[in-house]
Structure 1
């Protein structure tokens, strides 16, 4: 325990700032070199997002990516941890947006979204709710963390690889649907989503490649 008033012989703050600068430079290089992967997508989401946005992060990958970026002080983050991790993420954001009566954005993976899709099946879905659905065709977290990616059963029993999308769900729930699968369409969709002219909830589904996502994510730790 340090006693107040004792002189400091270290230069911790200076070293920390140098490390932070090097880390940001490396991250920016990776984003610049990246194809249309989750790393690039998250960088653009936080670039276009208003500084005062309330953000809900679903489990598990959205939390991991969000921590890699600097955020303005006015941006608030929340996250729901369900019994199985992913359950209830969308429901929490829907309830928060209704109670807060202000713009709320949830960033959610495909497994968490489909697991909790009935959160949109009620009359309390706020017109100020933004849903950013990162669809990489399964539980991409299991390609990122060490261990599960080594099993030959990965796709069928762990990642639960699929080819579903949210278009018809949005149609049934009267949620406006946008889709992006490249850099140009992503930029256009994000500008649309965060514009001031809104008349209802909006979902942006972004399709990214699972295998490339895992490669880019691991580069952040090299």
Structure 2
């Protein structure tokens, strides 16, 4: 099984010897790859929709791994029993959707020692949820796949808060400051603020002025982070 660059990076964050629950598994490529590599003992591949569920079943069956990977149809963590998995992967969804899945299935996270999460959007909301719900962010990864920059967050049970609120948006600078793709990520955030500021030029009034000032301050902070990365 050959994975995309994105899923390959996700796979590298799955703990050795884990029992993995891959939620929203699609074709079940991730669990099949990890079992074939001997990285995990067994897995549950969860899918809500009939088409992907059947695709996952077919992939597992054709790989001859039905005795080690069970494909289940259901919504989010509802496919799991409490304590059944030691690691949970949720990838390729919006950060808000991942938060909803984790919140709705909170009781199924008992015994889970590792979360591997790849949000497509709203990664700040996801990081805040983790910190508010007894998880610390142990690792962050970035990968470019077909021209798109993806974020991957690995979390484990623990107490953590970021003193710098900017880190919820861009990720922990301590974890990412030496990553070769981090400057690209910060540069993209700066450009995005620049576009918003351009649009705000036409707006009048106190609220618009306050928003402009807040964005200018954030842009300045990001430029400082980018400069510090380039100096290393």
Return the TM-score normalized by structure 1: 0.38
Return the TM-score normalized by structure 2: 0.36
Structure 1 or 2: more strand by fraction = 2
